[in-house]
Each structure stands twice: as C-alpha cells, then as structure tokens.
Amino acid sequence: TVEPLEYYRRFLKENCRPDGRELGEFRTTTVNIGSISTADGSALVKLGNTTVICGIKAEFAAPPADAPDKGYVVPNVDLPPLCSSRFRSGPPGEEAQVASQFIADVIENSQIIQKEDLCISPGKLAWVLYCDLICLDYDGNILDACTFALLAALKNVQLPEVTINEETALADVNFKKKSYLNIRTHPVATSFAVFDDTLLIVDPTGEEEHLATGTLTIVMDEEGKLCCLHKPGGSGLTGAKLQDCMSRAVTRHKEVKKLMDEVIKSMKPK
C-alpha cells in the first residue's frame, strides 16, 4: 500500500479493520498442549498468524541464600530471525529483552506459582523451571501469545517426585510418580493499540502495531485483579478509556479461560 495509514483510517472510520474484524474482536486463538515430548511441559499458541511455543524444563539448583525455601522460575523470550524480517541473528534485541522482562514481571506479580512449592529440601535443593518462549511467526500481539503459552505450558508441567537419600545426600528421582504444578491464578493478557490518540483496537496485527501511535497491555486474573498495566509510552489515555479497556480485558479473560479448560479436559484421559 502506498499510504498505509490513510488506508487504515478509512477502515477505522467504518469501525472495522482490513481483515474483517471488529475493533474489539480478537483473532482466532488456538492452543496445543504437550506437543514437545522431551520437555517437562509445553504449549503452542496461535493468535491468528502469531505463533509462540513455550517449553519448560525443570532442573535442580541450590535455593537462593536469602530465600532458602524458594525455587526459581526463569522465563526467556526469544524472537529469532525466523519469525520476522525485522530481527537479526545475534544477541537478543530490545524487543526480546522487554518481552522477557514483561513475562518475568507477570510471573512475579500474579503469583501464578508459589515459589515455595518448588522447594525440595530447604537450603539444599530446589527446582528451577526454565521457561523458553520462542516465537515462530511474528504478526503482532506477541505479549498476549507469550502469556497464554506460558500459562498453558505451566498447567502441563509434571514434576517427578524427589526424595533426598539421607546416607548419600543425593537426590533420588522417581520418574514413575509425577505430579502437576499447583497453578494458583490464571493471568491473561489483553493488548490494545492506540490510533491517532483516540481509537483503541484490540489484538493488533504486525502492521497495525507499526502504524499505531501507542500500545497498552493489561494482564488480569480471575477475580478482576490487575497483575500488570504495561503502557510503554505512546499517546495519552484518559481514565475513561482505561475503563473501557478493563471491561474488554475481563471478557477476554473469560474467553481464554474457557478455551484452556476445554483443552486441558480433552487431554486428561491420557
């Protein structure tokens, strides 16, 4: 398109978008849980074209000195050159680092896992969950997809039972007996793009993000509590506009929770 912004404005005036969606409509969300058999937990999430896969590996580590009864959850978001032409190979770019920090904040703020649950033997041994989120296709709204993939993968993680052998002080791992993690809350992210300081659209595609004057991501859990309100600059918003975003985030949370419960239910008989 010669004038992408003008092209978009014409659609926005009619309250719809070039791909036929309404301003408040999300793209088709699909989730596939447990696809990576070598990982302790995994999930693949597709939000329209945006594809993010999350793999979780559990390993042993000594707990931190200042909190001997806590384990670690280490998220890492990788945006490889595979997913979009804007990323080059080499050390993680700014966007990947910001996304990693965002996911780390969501895990910490929402208390999705109690770190005490990851402790095996206080002061000696604890689990560390390495969560690797890799984007396979970048078409906007990466934060929503990552949060959802992380949540789905964590629900899929099965940790084997570990007992510390008193004589040898070594860990005895029993692979036959596995248990799921205790997921306390279900944070769901909803992203918006701001156009021309006034219009708010939900779930922006890559092109919409590029043309937008600002973005906003709200992470909400079941009780309507906010874990994160991430608005990295961009045009100003009034309190009233924020309220509209909140209500949209609440409905989105219900949609996502329903989808995930369905998928988990369909997997249980295994």
Partner 1 sequence: DTSVLAGVYGPAEVKVSKEIFNKATLEVILRPKIGLPGVAEKSREQLIRNTCEAVVLGALHPRTSITTVLQVVSDAGSLLACCLNATCMALVDAGVPMRALFCGITCALDSDGTLVLDPTAKQEKEARAVLTFALDSVERKLLMSTTKGLYSDAELQQCLAAAQAASQHVFRFYRESLQRRYSKS
Q: Least distance in Å: CB of 65 to partner 1?
A: 18
Nearest distance from C-beta of residue 150 to partner 1, angstroms: 16
| Residue whose CB is less far from partner 1, 23 or 242 | 242
Shortest distance, position 122 Cβ to partner 1, whole Å: 23
Cβ distance 76 to 133 under 8 Å? yes
- The residues that touch partner 1, with contacts defined as CB under 8 A, are 94, 97-98, 100-102, 104-105, 108-111, 213-214, 221, 224-239, 242-243, 246
Residues in the chain, how many?
270
Sequence-separated (6 or more) residues with CB below 8 Å from residue 137: 49, 50, 51, 83, 84
Between residues 54 and 228, which has the closer beta carbon with respect to partner 1? 228
> In this structure, what token pair is assigned to residue 252?
């989105």
Q: Which of 28, 9, 2, 53 is nearest to 208 (CA)?
A: 9
- According to DSSP, the β-strands at 72-78 and 125-137 are parallel
131 or 263, CB closer to partner 1? 131
Say how far apart CA 270 and CA 250 lie, in whole Å: 32
Phi and psi torsions of 137, nearest 5° = -155, 120
Query: What is the nearest approach in angstroms of partner 1 to the Cβ of residue 216?
Result: 8
Output 145 or 228, the one with its CB closest to partner 1.
228
CB of 63 to partner 1, least distance (A): 20
Q: Least Å distance between CB 84 and partner 1?
A: 17
Comparing CB distances to partner 1, the nearer of 44 and 220 is 220
Minimum CB distance to partner 1, residue 234 (Å): 5
In the block, tokens 């058999």 appear at 37
**Residue nearer to partner 1 on the CB measure, 24 or 234:** 234
DSSP collapsed to 3 states, 140-190: CCHHHHHHHHHHHHHHHCEEEEEEECCCCCCEEEEEEEEEECCCCCCCEEE
CA distances from residue 116 to 111, 119, 126, 242, 268 in whole angstroms, order as listed: 11, 5, 9, 35, 26
Name the residue nearer to partner 1 (CB basis): 178 or 225.
225
